[in-house]
Chains A and B, each alone.
Chain A
Amino acid sequence: MLRRYITSTASILPLVVLRILVGLVGLLSTIRFMVLGWVDDHYVRPVMHFSYDGFDWVPIPPQPWLDALFVVMALAALGIVLGAWFRITSILFVVLFTWVFLFDKAYYLNHYYFIIVVATLLAMMPAHRAFSVDVLRKPSLRVDRVPRWMVDVFKLQVAIVYIYAGIAKINAPWLLDAMPLRIWLPAHDTMPVIGPLLAKPLTAYVFAWFGMVYDCTIVFFLMHRRTKWYAFGAVVVFHLCTATLFQIGVFPYVMIGMSTIFLVDAHYAHDTVPVPRTIGVLAAFILVQVLLPLRPYFYPGNMFWHEQGFRFGWRVMLMEKAATATFYVMDGEGGRANEREGVVVNSEFLNDMQERQMSTQPDMILQYAHKLAAHYRARGMRDPHVRAEVYATLNAAPGRLLVDPTQNLAVTDDGCAPYAWVTP
Chain B
Amino acid sequence: MLTRLADNLIIPGYTTLMARIEVCSTECEELLADPTPTAVLAARYQWVQLHYAWSLVQMYDFGPAESATGNLGVSIGTFPVNASKMESKISSADTSTANYDRDSRGIYGVEYLLFGTTGDSTDVATGFRQQPNRGAYLRAIIRDIKQRVGQVHAAWTGPYRGSFIANNGTAIGSSTSLVFNEFNKSYENIKNFKWGIPLGMSPGQSGPEPTKVECYYASLSTEYENQSIAATKIHFGGVVRTWECFRTYLDAVPGGADLKTRTEDQIDSVKRALDAFPMQPSLATQIVSAPTPASKVYTELQKLTRFFKSEMSSRLGIAITYSSGDGD
Cα-based distance from A353 to B307 in the complex (angstroms): 19
**A80-106 contacts to B (CB < 8 Å):** none
Contact of B168 among A190, A248, A351 (CB under 8 A): A190
Instruction: State the A residues within 8 Å of B (CB).
Output: 36-38, 41-42, 107, 109-111, 179, 182-184, 186-191, 246-251, 316-317, 320-324, 326, 328-330, 340-345, 347-348, 351-353, 356, 359, 372, 376, 379, 381, 384, 391-393, 396-399
**CB of B157, distance to nearest CB on chain A (Å):** 25
| Across-interface contacts of A352 in B (CB, < 8 A) | 320, 322-323
Asked if B316 and A187 sit within 8 Å, CB to CB, the answer is yes
> Could you tell me the distance between the alpha carbons of A184 and B313 in the complex, rounded to whole angstroms?
11
Set A183, A323, A399: member contacting B317, Cβ < 8 A: A183
CA distance A110 to B328 in the complex (A): 6
- Contact in complex: B310, A41 (CB < 8 Å): no
| Contacts A/B (CB < 8 Å), 13 sampled | A109-B324, A109-B326, A183-B316, A187-B170, A187-B171, A251-B326, A251-B327, A344-B203, A345-B192, A352-B320, A352-B322, A396-B253, A397-B255
Among B172, B201, B305, which residue has the most Cβ atoms of chain A within 10 A? B201
B158 at the interface (CB under 8 A from A): no
In this assembly, does B204 line the interface, its C-beta being within 8 Å of a C-beta of chain A?
yes
User: Nearest chain A CB to B73's CB is how many angstroms away?
Assistant: 14
The 8 Å CB contact of A347, one of B169, B188, B262, B302, is B188
Q: A250-B326, A251-B326, A317-B328 are in contact. Are A190 and B169 (CB under 8 A)?
A: yes
Query: Which bracket fits the contact residues of B?
Result: 35 or more
Smallest CB separation, B179 vs chain A (Å): 15
Contact in complex: B326, A376 (CB < 8 Å)? no
- Asked if B309 contacts A324 (CB within 8 A), the reply is yes
Question: Is the Cβ of A342 less than 8 Å from the Cβ of B323?
Answer: no
Residues A398 and B259 in contact in the complex (CB < 8 Å), given A316-B328, A324-B306, A345-B192? yes
B262: chain A residues within 8 A (beta carbon) = 398
- Are A396 and B315 CB-contacts (below 8 A) given A342-B205, A343-B201? yes
B254 sits at the interface (CB 8 A): yes
A171 to B69, CA, bound (A): 48
Interface SS of chain A: helix, strand, loop or mixed?
mixed
Q: CA separation between A341 and B298, bound complex, in Å? A: 14
A183–B315 CB distance below 8 A = yes
Query: Which residues in B have their C-beta under 8 angstroms from that of A324?
Result: 305-306, 309-310
* Residue B118 is within 8 A (CB to CB) of chain A in the complex: no
- Compute how far the CA of A317 lies from the CA of B326 in the bound complex, rounded to whole angstroms: 12
> How far apart sit A190 and B168, CA to CA, in the bound complex (Å)?
7
Interface pairs A-B: 6 shortest CB-CB: A342-B203, A249-B326, A248-B327, A187-B317, A324-B306, A329-B203
With A190-B169, A191-B169, A343-B302 known to touch, is A183 a contact of B322 (CB < 8 Å)?
A: no
With a cutoff of 8 Å between Cβ atoms, the chain A residues found around residue B170 in the complex are: 187
Contacts of A353 in B (CB 8 A): 322-324
Question: B252 an interface residue at 8 Å Cβ cutoff?
Answer: yes
Instruction: Name which residue of chain B comes closest to A204, CB basis.
Output: B254
B310 touches A322 (CB 8 A): yes
Which residues of A lie under 8 Å from residue B319 when comparing CB positions? 187, 247
CA distance A41 to B201 in the complex (A): 28
Most buried by A among B203, B315, B320, B322: B203
Q: Which residue of the partner chain B has the closest CB to A348?
A: B202
